[in-house]
Amino acid sequence: MRSLPTSVVIVMATLAVGCSDAERVRAEAGFRPTYNKATGKLTELTLDSNHNGHVDTWTDMDGSRPLRTRIDRNEDGKVDRWEYYDDRAQLTKVGFSRKDDGKADAWAFASADGKLHKIEISSTGDEQKIDRWEHYDATGLIAVEEDTNGDGAPDKWETYRAGLLTTASFDENFDGTPERRLTYEASALVMIESTPDGAGGFATRVQVR
Ligand SMILES: [Ca+2]
Ligand SMILES: [Ca+2]
Ligand SMILES: [Ca+2]
Ligand SMILES: [Ca+2]
């Protein structure tokens, strides 16, 4: 995750300066502003980030505050990155399209220190219907939750260590708790647990050799 592009920050800083100065800096950086005709407020900044004559970045603005940026990085006419900002113009969420169909279907969230901590994925490209949640810490992927029957609740849980799957648990009757847990060592299945004991453990354990 990165913070606001430096060019945008520079332009924003110059918005506090005299109007003509701000316009000059924006123009030199390749930005084109759109103002609300009635209020005079800045509503959109467009940018040709690679200076090839085609606009590839659109930022919705509330005056000097950026709200959302849409970016077509490969300039194929389909937006492939969506950036969302909070009140302090900090990047909080980045949407991307795993299918590259111009529609966001995954959203990455940063923690307070700016590091990736979660990706929410919708197999149908609907932000209201997330069916996969990936959790990250400084070591990388640590856990995945999945909603396999589309009821909005996770029913499959995986844990990872150093990039390798360590456990996979399955809620086979979709009541919110797992009936079965598989444990892996070095990617090989070593144990199958079943018969939940009601306290988060399992009464039946089968070692796999
Ligand atoms: Ca361009
Ligand atoms: Ca594109
Ligand atoms: Ca489910
Ligand atoms: Ca269950």
- pTM for this predicted structure: 0.79
**Alpha carbon distance 102, 81 (integer Å):** 9
Of all ligands present, the nearest one to the C-alpha of 175 is 4
For ligand 4, an ion, list residues with CB under 5 A: 171, 173, 175, 177, 179
Q: Please name the amino acid found at residue 125.
A: G
DSSP 74: T
**How close is the Cα of 137 to the center of ligand 4, in Å?**
28
Q: Name the strand (E) or helix (H) holding 119.
A: strand 116-121
- Of all ligands present, the nearest one to the C-alpha of 130 is 3
Å from CA of 147 to ligand 3 middle:
4
Alpha-carbon distance of 32 to 137, in angstroms, equals: 38
pLDDT (tens, 9 = 90+) of the chain, 209 residues, equals: 444 554 555 455 444 445 567 777 777 778 899 999 999 999 999 999 999 999 999 999 999 999 999 999 999 999 999 999 999 988 889 999 999 999 999 999 988 888 899 999 999 999 999 999 999 999 999 999 999 999 999 999 999 999 999 999 999 999 999 999 999 999 999 999 999 998 889 999 999 97
Please name which ligand lies nearest the alpha carbon of 72. 2
CA of 121 to the centre of ligand 3 (A): 14
Is 94 buried (19+), middle (13-18) or exposed (0-12) by CB count in 10 A? buried
